[in-house]
Chains A and B, each alone.
Chain A
Amino acid sequence: MPKSIRRFIRANGSLLLSIGMIAIAVTGGWWGLVPFGRNVWTLYTNTQKLRTQVGVLENKYAVLSSLDQASLAQDGDELLRAIPAEKEVATLLSTLEQTTITSGLSLSHLTIVSPGSLATGAAERQTKEEKAIGAGIISSTISVEGPLPEVKQFLSTLQRIRRLLRVGDVQISVREGASARAQLTIDAFYQPLPTALGDITSKIVPFSAAQEDLLVQLRSFPVAYQTQRENGPAFFAPKQNPFTP
């Protein structure tokens, strides 16, 4: 090493040390601290997300633990009578027939529009109305005859039975002697059972007071039909093979 450089280093040692410190700090900061800081920030945001998820899971677990499986199963069974998982044409026919008879009317005509389809549930296209309601619709037209007060009673009963129905078009003709003939279009509803649950972190809320009231209201509606469900398997039982004898 030349003598002049050695003399310079000896004379400016502390200066060079300071410059070296600055260089190390700047270089180390740029190549080490910045990526490290970025990693710490990523870890922080991930931890925050994790904390939120754990909060949601804790809440969900608390809600699920507070629910009673037996009463939920009963609620589900009762609600399935109001909105079955399949079209259940038989229960619709039975409901309309039973309601007509109990109202003191005679059933003169009944048509069910497209009671069955060769397409699978996934292939069936939902109409705009079905999408709005969130359920499939099975339409029927019915003609009943009898005294006008009984026709009024029939209309009133239709909105207070367990298989939920909606009256569309109505035509009432009054005949001689206060006898009336009513022709109605009636929609019944169905919704297939879910095949999969949502994401584990999907929120779950207990039934609100309004939902509880609605449940009580639906429970108060009489069931106007009998099904195999009375003594048969629960609705979670696996589907039986339709081709077995």
Chain B
Amino acid sequence: MSSSNINLLHPTSGGSAELSAMTAHIRVVGWLVMSLFVATGTMGLIAYVLLRGMASGLEQNKRILTVQIQNLKNVEGLHAIAASRLAIASRILAVQTNHRAVLALTEKVSPDDGIVSISMSQESGRTTVKLTPQNLHDASGTVSTLLSMSNEKKITDATLDSVSLAPDGLVGMTMSFVPIVK
């Protein structure tokens, strides 16, 4: 349908039929658009009213709960203190690795094994041990001790960093390992 052929002010007989068809179409579209507009508006209005009611109820609940929680702020404070300290305690106990390693080593080392001094330090999770056995025989015994600790999965990644022999016969050994925390 070409609208350029229709003269609205002076319709011809052929153009009149086309005009009434177009009018019918526009009328349908018009009613559809209007219905859509009214329906959307009505639904929006209903949704708005419902949501306002819901929000108002929730706001009231929130206010009541806020007051109730504020009445229990002592309990909340006590809980916060206990919870934070428990978290810290948990971390402290978890990082007592060096302590456990010392205990594990002191269980194994005694004067009977010829050890005259043990020194331990820790850096970046790695424990360095300096042992002073009385002689080379005891030194080899110490290495065996550490090997057995490694086998018992008490330590891992053990390395013998240095061995020195002093004129008085004392052997200096430096070892490092990573304690296994269980």
> Which residues of A approach B to under 8 Å, CB–CB?
4, 8, 12, 14-15, 17-22, 24-26, 28-29, 32-33, 36-37, 39-40, 43-44, 46-47, 50-51, 53-54, 57-58, 60-61, 64-65, 67, 69, 72-73, 75-76, 79-80, 82-83, 132-135, 148, 151-152, 155-156, 158-159, 164, 166-174, 178, 189, 191, 193-194, 197-198, 200, 204, 207, 210-211, 214-215, 218, 236
Contact = CB atoms under 8 A, between A and B. Distances in A.
Interface residues of B, number: 73
Classify the interface of chain B: helix, strand, loop or mixed.
helix
Contacts of B98: 166-168, 170
Contacts of A8: 8-9
Contact of B44 (A40, A47, A135): A40
A118 to B, nearest CB: 25
A218 B54 contact: no
Given A76-B81, A134-B87, A54 B72 contact: no
Chain A interface main SS type = helix
Interface of B: 8-9, 19, 22-23, 26-27, 29-31, 33-34, 36-37, 40-41, 44, 47-48, 51-52, 54-55, 58-59, 61-62, 65-66, 68-70, 72-93, 95-96, 98-100, 102-103, 106-107, 110-111, 115-122
A173 B80 contact: no
B117 A12 contact: no
A15 B23 contact: yes
Contacts of A25: 30, 33-34, 36-37
Contact of A47 (B19, B51, B96, B110): B51
Nearest to B47: A40
Contact of A72 (B31, B59, B78, B115): B78
Contacts of A194: 77, 80-81, 84
A219 to B, nearest CB: 11
